[in-house]
Structure 1
Amino acid sequence: MALHTVGAAQLPSEVWVHVFGFLSTTDKLNIRSCCKYFKKMVDHWSLWKGNTVVLKKLCAYTTQFWTTLRRRKISSVVVQRASLKEWKQLALSLPWLTTIAVEHCFDVKAFEILKQFHNLKRLAIRSCRCGQGLSDAIVPLQQVTHFSVCEMHCAPRSDIISFVSKLSHLTSLLYHEGNHPIPRQTFHIMLNRLPHLKHLSGNMDPTLSEEALKCLPSLQSLAVVYRDRDVDPSRCHLKTWLRELPQLAVLNIAKGHPVSAYAHSIPGTVTSLTLQRVMVEQKDMKTLGKQASGLLHLHFDPCSYKSGSSIGEIPKLFPQLMTLKMRLQQLKHLERLEILDAQSPHLLQLIHKLQVLTNHSTQIIHSRGLRDPTGCYCTHY
């Protein structure tokens, strides 16, 4: 690239850094690899805020690699299948990490290294196989405010519940253990010990009492994942839980009861709603429109919806809607449309027609797994 010999050097580096801020990660890396002049600019820490690095085979990384991560001030990583020695290397190289997702860890001693990350705020444990001693390694991490556990193997459930209950500063808890739901009484006790909790996501057992969330009036985000669909409205305690959450803004529901069982209880404070694999009727949509007329974000993916033609009423039901995520439908006046269908030539034609109808004002993307590498990827989401 001869750009730097012509006029690139005539502009202050601050200008180029600002320009690079509009590029995707791929584009930034391409520029970095083909132009030495821009290499340091592309590595400027301001261009990598919120970026997560997935680390595999840490022993293969060079000194230059770690230097680059330090220059970018990377604060979020996913660590896969790391040995105890590699964990020690990570602690020495990036001691300021604030977010760590641990995947496929089979040595409980590795978790003891986490206490060396004094700025750690977000911790996710996924698909790990650990025995006794996990609680002793996690409890010292009292600074952690966001904790996620998904698909743990071998670790005693009592051990997991014990250290979660002792992380008293938690503001966000994600507990996805579908085959090992927390017993009713234990669940109540655990929540009572987490007074600062604002975000809760878990596999909800239908046997949980109506008072299960009574101790969390400040809850702002709730994700309820049922193991099966349940058509008996009398067993639905969700409607009671929702009435006791006056500050709720985000509600995600997967499977479980028909929407009619709790639609009238959804607080008007909800601005983001996700309905996955639930039974919905046209009258339920109208009820949702009345209950949450200020809805800004909707993820609509029901297992049954008989009145598909009324999908076009969504803009009327939710006049402030900004983003919609659903199976492909042609809708106007959207800022963003995320399509769940698999790509096909016919689909591409429909997308082109939609872009023409909306004068290319709608951002259209395809769902391709998780957007957040540190997020949970279990089968429910």
Structure 2
Amino acid sequence: MYLRRCGSRSHLRRYSPAGGLIMAALRLPAELWLRIFSYLSWKDKLRMRCTCSHFRSLLDESSVSWQGFSVVLKDLSRYNRGFWRSLARWQVRVVRLRAGVKKDLKLLSSWLPLLDSLRLDRWMELEVRELQVLVQLQRLSLTSSCMPLSRLDFLVPLSDQLTQLTLCKVQLTCPAAHLLAAVTQLRRLTSLQLHHDGSLRIRTLSGILSHLTRLRHLSWTMITYKTLAGDFFYPAHPPEGTAGLQLSHLQLLNYDAVVTQEVLQPLLRLQSLSVLHLYSVPGPNCHLRTWLTSLPELSSLSVHGGHPLAAYADFLPSSLLSLTLSVDLQTEDLQVVSARAPNLEHLHLEPWGSSSSLIKLLPQLFPHLKTLAIRHHGVLEEDFLFLQEMKHLHTVEILDVYHRPNPKDPSWVLYESSPHLLQLIQKLQQQTNHRVQVITSSRSNTLSCDCI
């Protein structure tokens, strides 16, 4: 069977004696087709929409089919009215705009009145005041701006709207006090990410944490800190009836500061900690040990770079359920992790060296895993298929989805699943009776900055 487009109308044709089956399929109830489409990726939905007018009509008239759909746009003059009408019908709420200017915001407001999440990459003008025309905007991300921001007054009209704010690789020429004054007016914020090159000097976060009482997720560049002040996390006026901050997720970029358990006392409720050494090289002392021994309720830990796992493996809390490791590690280090966190359910394993010798040990070391993210290059087929021994495993993500189709030309790289990987996936799914889902494409958040 194949799909064919004829003239100005779309038709499904099958050149076989069973061609009538296609017409019968088209008479299936719309609810059934939409149920089938719900299992497709966004790309596959778009492909199905292009096959015939029947499918296009079904998908366009069902905004539910497009819930969570996001688009990446650049040079809005390229898009015609039909394109905008489709986005409007799908009730698109999340947009990533590259190299935008102020007039683009008015266009987005006109065609996408429900837009509530926006990422602006490489903003081309000095000010972003037109953001206030997006009356439904709740989540805003400014990344890699081409022009410096000398003022942040454009945030003030959004103070009753924004729940999430990301400023990443944005040149801020305003004083730190001006930044703090603008950010602390966003009283509805539940998530704040501020990533910079080290030019911003803020001694303590106590002022921010005092005003943003709803804050649950905080991501902060730590490259300028050598020692954390005693009041670094202490809000000046903690919320009444609470024992410490309400933060549940804390992300630290380029962290290597001396810290004490007393400084971390307000973070007793912290459940998730991420430490990313993007460019920095940590000093001789592993300060992560202090964090791990001070957070009794920590259930998720993510470490990228920094000291080898052996430097802090013995300090992992037994409460851990999720662990991400993109670090230097050895087989014996994972054995320590298994003993320290016996109930681990989610593991993202991306060692700096080869992982080929580690995969076959995972079923024995972490029998309760439900999700697993690993590399597959260099892993023997029998070791990969040994993952079927994990009785609770339901999702495997492959982190290195690429291959070189011509061994004589190593520069030719295809970023897609190789035939060998597809065979491995098929065998694993067959041996687990399709209990295990294998993901080969990253499901990144459209609003997340590229440095995470």
Normalising by the residue count of structure 1, what TM-score does the alignment of the two structures yield? 0.84
- Aligned residue for 1:11, secondary structure, equals coil
Moved more, 140-149 or 89-98: 140-149
Among 307, 328, 334, which residue is 1:285 paired with?
A: 334
CA contact (8 A) 1:176 1:202 kept: no
SS at structure 2 position matched to 1:229? coil
Give the Cα separation in 2 of the matches to 1:371 and 1:167. 26
The answer to whether 1:91 aligns with 2:141 is no
**Which one of the candidate residues 247, 255, 274 is aligned to 1:205?**
255
Q: Please, which of 285, 293, 299 is the counterpart of residue 348 of structure 2?
A: 299
1:225 and 2:276 are equivalent in the alignment: yes
> In structure 2, do the counterparts of structure 1 residues 73 and 267 end up closer, same or farther at CA, with 3 Å as the change threshold?
farther
- Would you say the 8 A contact 1:100–1:123 is kept in 2? yes
1: distance between equivalents of 2:264 and 2:139? Answer: 23
Query: What is the correspondence of 1:1-381 to structure 2 with a 5 Å cutoff?
Result: 1-2=11-12, 6-8=23-25, 10-43=27-60, 44-109=62-127, 111-142=128-159, 143-156=161-174, 158=176, 159-177=178-196, 179-180=197-198, 183=201, 185-195=203-213, 196-197=215-216, 198-207=248-257, 209-210=259-260, 213-226=264-277, 227-230=279-282, 232-233=284-285, 236-276=286-326, 278-304=327-353, 309-328=357-376, 329=379, 330-331=383-384, 332-333=387-388, 334=393, 335-340=395-400, 342-344=402-404, 348-349=419-420, 352-353=423-424, 355-356=426-427, 359=430, 361=432, 362-366=436-440, 371-378=444-451, 381=452
Distance 1:135 1:363 in 2: 45
Q: Deviations over 1:281-300 (max 9, x none)?
A: 33432222133222222122
How many residue pairs were aligned? Answer: 372
CA–CA distance in structure 1, aligned partners of residues 428 and 33 of structure 2: 36
Offset, 1:348: 4.4
Alpha carbons of structure 1 residues 241 and 66: separation in structure 2 relative to 1, 3 Å: same
**What is the SS of the residue equivalent to 2:267?**
coil
Q: What SS is found at the alignment partner of 1:284?
A: helix
| Aligned-partner SS, 1:273 | strand
Per-residue CA deviation, residues 26-78 of structure 1 (Å, 9 max, x unaligned), is 23222222311222211211111111111111123222222211211111110
1:136-167 CA-partner distances (Å, limit 9, x unpaired): 11244333222222211354472545534443
Measure, in 2, the Cα distance between the counterparts of 1:267 and 1:166.
Answer: 36
Match of 2:234 in 1: none
Partner Cα separation in structure 1 for residue 68 and residue 428 of structure 2: 34
Whose relative contact order is higher, 1 or 2, with alpha carbons under 8 Å and at least 6 apart? 1
State the identity %: 31
Q: CA RMSD in A?
A: 3.1
Residues 239/164 of structure 1: CA separation in 2 closer, same or farther (3 Å cut):
farther
Quick one: which amino acid aligns to residue 343 of structure 1?
H
Structure 2 Cα separation of the partners of residues 129 and 357 of structure 1: 47
Asked which structure has the greater CA Rg, the reply is 2
What amino acid sits opposite 1:220 in the alignment? Q
* CA deviations over 1:174-206 (Å, ceiling 9, x no partner): 3332x2275462345444544432333231432
Equivalent in the alignment of 2:222: none
In 1, Cα distance between equivalents of 2:192 and 2:271: 12
Q: Unaligned stretches of 5+ in structure 2?
A: 1-10, 14-19, 217-247, 408-417
Going from structure 1 to structure 2, the CA distance change for 1:86 and 1:293 (only over 3 Å counts) comes to same
Cα gap change, 1:19 to 1:102, in 2 (>3 Å): same
Q: Cα deviation per residue 1:218-274 (whole Å; 9 max; x = unaligned)?
A: 3333221123333623xx332323344344333221112232333333333332211
SS at match of 1:69: helix
CA positional deviation for 1:338: 1.0
Is the CA contact (8 Å cut-off) linking 2:148 and 2:170 kept in structure 1? Answer: no
SS at match of 1:256: coil
Secondary structure of the residue that 1:54 maps to in structure 2? Answer: strand
For the residue of structure 1 that corresponds to 2:68, the secondary structure is: coil
SS in 2 for 1:167: coil
The CA deviation at 1:8 is 5.0
- Residues 29, 337 of structure 1: alpha-carbon distance in 2 compared, 3 angstrom cutoff: closer
Which residue identity does 1:172 align to in structure 2? S
Letter in 2 for 1:54: V
